[in-house]
Amino acid sequence: MKKKVEHIVPLSPQTLNILAEAKKLSDGSEYIFPADRKKGHPVNPQTANMALKRMGYSGRLVAHGLRALASTVLNEEGIHHPDIIEAALAHVDKNQVRSAYNRAKYLDRRHKMMIWWSNHIVSSLAKALSAQ
């Protein structure tokens, strides 16, 4: 995290399954996504952006843009309170007084939101694949 503050991420079952499968491919590394050239190190932070470029998204999408996409979709759906969405993104409230008093983590509600988000991704993928 940028601010070196602990950020707990309540993961959906789908995400946990993906991470478990990825760990099997990590060749015994302590990292789920280990560097391929530097043993004992995590993958380079720019790896996701490089993968997006190789997939043809150069100039149209960067990994950080996926956070904006998630925020936009979650806010547009109107199901989840904006405070929950902002907490999931580890955004700090700009209102310093509110930030000082509100120390809620919203873990239960964020977990429900992450499950909704995973279901949304799976549903969107299924629709895209059936349209081909």
Q: Give a yes or no: residue 123 inside a domain.
A: yes
Q: Give a yes or no: residue 77 inside a domain.
A: yes
The residue type of 47 is T
Q: Give a yes or no: residue 37 inside a domain.
A: no
Q: Give a yes or no: residue 26 inside a domain.
A: no
Q: Give a yes or no: residue 74 inside a domain.
A: yes
Question: pLDDT per position in the chain (132 positions), as tens?
Answer: 566 788 999 999 999 999 999 999 999 999 999 999 899 999 999 999 999 999 999 999 999 999 999 999 999 999 999 999 999 999 988 888 888 888 889 999 999 999 999 999 999 999 999 998
Chain position carrying tokens 């190789």: 54
Whether the CB-CB separation of 5 and 88 falls below 8 Å is answered with no
Any alpha helices (H) in the chain, and if so which ranges?
A: 13-24, 47-52, 63-77, 82-88, 96-101, 107-130
- Structural domain including 79 reads 63-130
Q: Give a yes or no: residue 121 inside a domain.
A: yes
Q: Give a yes or no: residue 31 inside a domain.
A: no
Q: Give a yes or no: residue 99 inside a domain.
A: yes
Q: How many domains does the chain have?
A: 1
Give the count of beta carbons closer than 10 Å to the beta carbon of residue 33: 16
pTM: 0.86
